[in-house]
Structure 1
Amino acid sequence: MSIDMMNPGVKKALRITKKITFFFLKALGIFILLLLVFIGANLTKIDRTPYKEMPYYRTTMERIKALKNTPAPVVSNQTDSIKAGWGKADFTPNHPVHLAGYGDRYGNSVGLQDSLRARAFVFDNGNRKVAMVTIDLLIVPPTILAVIHQQLSTIGFAKENVYFSATHSHNSVGHWGSRVVGRLLAGSYEQSVVDNIARAVIRAIKQADQTKEYAQLGYVKINAKDLLYNRLVREKGIVDPWLRLLKIKKQSGKVATLFTFAAHSTCFASERKPISGDYPNRVIQLLEKSPQIDFAAFFAGAMGSHAPIDVPGGNDYEQLENISTKMSALVLDKIDSVSTKANKQLFMRSLKIDLRAPQVKISEDWRLRPWLFYALYGDYPAYITALRLGDLVFVGTPCDFSGELVPQFDAVSQRKGVETIITSFNGGYVGYITYDKWYNVNEPETRHMNWFGPYNGAYFTEVIQKVIETM
């Protein structure tokens, strides 16, 4: 039937449909054209200029020179003990929340596996007082750090003397990201959540400060190579196998431990997402149930390339219990034999580190332009923090720092007569810092989360080595 023979009402409907289809296709074509223009205007080639030829490198090296010209404090009486205290405060939400490692992708949490806390140590040698804080969070977000810094003076601390890390649980509370990327990672921004976590940190530091006693320090490295693997490149890469453990023994006989490990806190990886501090919290529960340890805290180690062991055929809870039971057993088997001694060496440094313009890759050779990254993520300063505590040097990094890079600090540490402990998530976040030879590997750590590469493995390693030299 021709259109002329149709009912007038049908003909009118067909004409309207054709017009709508025409305008829809036209609008779609314009949208696709604009999208292609936008993408074309905001893509550019990866900048592979060697990092030592870049202005950001020269600026950071000048800051390190200034740091070297500031001598480390001399402690005259090494026979006297440092004072140490510890404390914790709860910030567990009482309702379903978006989880920091999954954000808007999975919706709200389902159930509660364990409580979330801020844990703190305070060390005081009579000349200076330093706090070490770890929070049951994915990272220490800049939004929360800013609120904490505003409140530190109310309890007698300066931001320059507080060392931060996190447990890196992907199942901890989100709602702290204020930009697009932060909201995708951690869900919608809620100021009440940010303030609640900041208050918990302040309470934990205050409690630690109020419980100081003379104490002695001890340290041990425990080989836990069977508890993790290199998730980035599997057997082609290396692992940082060490469970690093600081023992603190008060004059009263009470014992605490601060321990680090390089495996991501990702035992809960299935669809069901309870609020949890993951394996670090479970290990702490097991340690504090023992008569040997009164208090424990976990600081994320060099987690940029490592994951916890799997249980073949097991579920999330079996993996959690497996790694937690084995790790706590390793600690409890060693803790009594770790000798302690008096030491008053205590000071902290902070180095602002400049970076290459952001290069968020969409392929091996192409990236987004920097302005788009800053618009989506924000522009936050990055620092390397370093704390000398007795014969230990803790180095805090603003990233997921790869355990593959850690062995490179052994030589400078031995030369300086110290043990170096690398931790991640010190309050800034610049993505993943991985071994440079894996920069082109098509994995999330190197393709999507290596935001300021290439050559950041070598750059960060050099900077950290030079910072250790000043300690």
Structure 2
Amino acid sequence: MRPNYPKSSLFSLCWLLLLFVAPSCVVQRLDRTPYQQTSYYTQTLKGLQEQQPATMADTLQAGWAKVNITPEVGTPMAGYGKRRGMKYNQVHDSVWVRTFAFDNGKSQTYFVALDMLIAPMEITAALEQKYAAHGLRPEQVYLTATHTHTSFGGWGKKLAGRIMAGKYKKRVVQQTTEKILQSIKLAQANLQPTRFGYGSINAASWVSNRLTGSEAARDTLLRFLKFEQASGSTAILCTFAAHPTILPSMQPILSRDYPGALVYALEQKYDFAAFSAGAVASHRAVYHHGDSFESVQETGQALAQLILAAVPAVKTAYTSRLGSSRLPLYLPEPQWRIGDNHRFAPGLFYTLFGRYPAYLSSLQLGNTIMLGMPADYSGEFMSELEQQAKEQEQHLLVTGFNGGYLGYIIPDEHYKLKKYEARAMNFYGPHSGSYLQEVLRRMIGLYRP
């Protein structure tokens, strides 16, 4: 028999239960379990054992192509939440997808660089629905982005995506997807036997560590690959660790920021050029004329001149080694922080940000390894990774924004800092930096000659 409580008592009881239960549903303590003791670590290592090394076959062929992906004026911009879906009303410089195709007769891979904030998850999902019809598999396509904060949005469905990139536009996602596939087809049609070589040059005066201010803890190298087709056509692919955030956040003008000026300057000397953001977390560009297009031009052209001065000394050679892979990355529950010891419950995080698969990309050309991250990955990690590659007599490029997004991945010792990168944008807890760094080291080891 049900007790007959007064309505006022029932109301009070409900409030007491809500006050008791709700905090545990919204706020939880941080999980500081060492990652080596977790199931997600074990699962990722198991996946590593299944990765296939690069293939050796015929002489490497390479081709390249670019396609304009600029949406119509009035499309939302992506990069800053405070814009609140602001639309651009002017195009300063168009945005593109720039693609390299590689084929050694046994393996085919594609390097796709977007003039966008990230390679968005919704576009990644749309591409994967179409790959089979184009004879492609997801692991063949290495996605990345320039990370300009003044390109177009309209590609995020969840609330966090809409805050960063404006109202979702299905047509924008469809058009961008089709143009990426078009660029792959065009690059494939341009395949020729190709020599290539790796180069790097110190660009310390153009990058700083915005998280700690450390002069020593910076990735200062401007890295590039030089390609020479049998026909004489030439191309440059380059990466750098400075955030492309020079232009004013509230200026409604579409632009590629300094990567656009850099690529444009390179294409005055070479037939084709592309740029990808490197390990940009905690790194900012250094410039001298305020948040302006003048600073964009100065920075882009200065970096281009460094490359152009270094290119003649880079030796190129044919290779037959080519490989690519996509490693599923298993993760802990999200640990989006409140204060020093608490986090929002994972369910709330997924409601705001969505739940997407994460993976690490890899691509090997001869003795050069490229690793693609689903994150803003800190340049402070690069010296250790590069040293390992050097010990294997190989070169290394790390790029970001490969079709997923895990927030900022920074060294564990910075987790305590009350900074944007360590608080608002650190989604996966105090050990995410050391966890991913170990996985990357293991991936480099897979490509040991």
> How does the TM-score come out when normalised to structure 2?
0.92
- Residue of structure 1 aligned with 2:282, choices 301, 305, 315: 305
Q: Which residue of 2 aligns with 1:462?
A: 438
1:162 correspondence with 2:118: no
Q: Which residue of 2 aligns with 1:15?
A: none
1:349 deviates by 1.6
1:432 correspondence with 2:408: yes
1:196 correspondence with 2:175: yes
Aligned length: 432
Greater CA drift, 54-63 or 364-373: 54-63
Query: Residue deviations 1:59-107, cap 9 Å, x none?
Result: 212222333xx4x24526xxx6311100011111221222110255262
C-alpha separation between the residues in 1 aligned to 2:443 and 2:22? 42
Query: Residue deviations 1:27-83, cap 9 Å, x none?
Result: xxx99x98997556411111111111122112212222333xx4x24526xxx6311
Q: Which residue of 1 aligns with 2:218?
A: 239
1:121 correspondence with 2:105: no
C-alpha separation between the residues in 2 aligned to 1:73 and 1:242? 26
Which residues of structure 1 form unaligned runs of 5+? 1-29
Q: Secondary structure at the match of 2:313?
A: coil
| CA distance 1:48–1:210, change in 2 (3 Å) | same
C-alpha separation between the residues in 1 aligned to 2:293 and 2:122? 32
| CA distance 1:387–1:323, change in 2 (3 Å) | same
Would you say the 8 A contact 1:215–1:248 is kept in 2? yes
| CA distance 1:121–1:340, change in 2 (3 Å) | same
Structure having the higher Rg: 1
Q: Which residue of 2 aligns with 1:417?
A: 393
1:358 deviates by 0.2
C-alpha separation between the residues in 1 aligned to 2:19 and 2:152? 35
1:157 deviates by 2.2
Would you say the 8 A contact 1:408–1:461 is kept in 2? no
| CA distance 1:115–1:407, change in 2 (3 Å) | same
Would you say the 8 A contact 2:59–2:104 is kept in 1? yes
1:108 correspondence with 2:92: no
Greater CA drift, 151-160 or 84-93: 151-160
- Residue of structure 2 aligned with 1:179, choices 142, 151, 158: 158
Q: Which residue of 2 aligns with 1:13?
A: none
1:319 correspondence with 2:300: no
1:289 deviates by 1.9
- Between Structure 1 and Structure 2, the one with more helix by share is 1
Runs of 4+ more than 4 Å apart: 33-40
C-alpha separation between the residues in 2 aligned to 1:66 and 1:136? 33
Would you say the 8 A contact 2:55–2:107 is kept in 1? no
Q: Which residue of 2 aligns with 1:58?
A: 42
- Residue of structure 2 aligned with 1:44, choices 8, 14, 28: 28
Would you say the 8 A contact 1:99–1:275 is kept in 2? yes
Would you say the 8 A contact 1:56–1:355 is kept in 2? yes
Q: Which residue of 2 aligns with 1:445?
A: 421
Would you say the 8 A contact 1:270–1:316 is kept in 2? no
Would you say the 8 A contact 2:208–2:215 is kept in 1? no
> How does the TM-score come out when normalised to structure 1?
0.88
C-alpha separation between the residues in 1 aligned to 2:216 and 2:362? 27
Q: Which residue of 1 aligns with 2:245?
A: 266
1:250 correspondence with 2:235: no
- Residue of structure 2 aligned with 1:376, choices 352, 357, 377: 352
Greater CA drift, 146-155 or 169-178: 146-155
Query: Residue deviations 1:332-371, cap 9 Å, x none?
Result: 1122332100101001121111111101012122210001
Query: Residue deviations 1:400-442, cap 9 Å, x none?
Result: 0100011111342123221111110111111110011101111
Greater CA drift, 245-254 or 56-65: 56-65
Would you say the 8 A contact 1:112–1:275 is kept in 2? yes
Please provide the CA RMSD for this pair.
2.0
Q: Secondary structure at the match of 2:315?
A: coil
